[in-house]
């Protein structure tokens, strides 16, 4: 099981603007500290944490952050409409489009996805596979 994902950022203020445009809608809470941003899903008393957490931090080695070639983090939305809305919100918050929301022939008939880059260049996917919505062929 993946416990957490960390992406690097040189400008934490810009990163916060971008990620706060969609992660709170997906249920993530934000904690800020001198080490960066920590987004986590809420935990009910007596329950185990819902994983993974998502961290945005300057690199520990003090060098410039860079996006991983081929690396991507995907967040699941509740519906195709939410994918569209969150993709638009993330673009308005400083992201760049890497592929508008829609179905992709390479994936299953219900996989609806939009791709973005955060202000640092990290690739992000927002997707829905809601079985109660029309699929690619329907």
138 part of a folded domain: no
pLDDT at 1: 77
12 part of a folded domain: yes
More confident residue, 69 or 4: 4
The mean per-residue pLDDT over the stretch 84-102 comes to 98
Domain residues for the domain of 121 are 4-128
CATH of residue 103's domain is 3.10.180.10
111: left (phi over 0), alpha (psi -120 to 50) or beta: beta
Q: For 40-90, how does the pLDDT look when each residue is reduced to its tens digit (9 = 90+)? A: 999 989 998 888 999 999 999 999 999 988 899 999 999 999 999 999 999
83 part of a folded domain: yes
137 part of a folded domain: no
Split into its structural domains, the chain has a count of: 1
121 part of a folded domain: yes
Q: Name the pTM for this structure.
A: 0.91
Q: Which two tokens stand for residue 33?
A: 């500290």
CA neighbor of 21 nearest in space, from 76, 72, 87: 87
């Amino acid at each position: 099981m993946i416990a957490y994902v960390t992406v690097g950022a040189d400008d934490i203020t810009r990163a916060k603007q971008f990620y706060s445009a969609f992660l709170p809608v997906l249920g993530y809470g934000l904690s800020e500290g001198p080490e960066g941003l920590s987004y986590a899903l809420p935990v009910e008393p007596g329950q185990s944490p819902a994983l993974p957490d998502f961290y945005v931090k300057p690199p520990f080695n003090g060098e410039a952050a860079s996006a991983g070639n081929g690396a991507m983090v995907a967040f699941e939305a509740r519906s195709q409409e939410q994918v569209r809305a969150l993709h638009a919100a993330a673009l308005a918050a400083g992201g760049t489009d890497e592929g508008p929301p829609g179905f992709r022939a390479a994936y299953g008939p219900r996989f609806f996805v939009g791709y973005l880059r955060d202000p640092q260049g990290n690739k992000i996917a927002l997707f829905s596979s809601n079985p109660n919505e029309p699929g690619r062929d329907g």
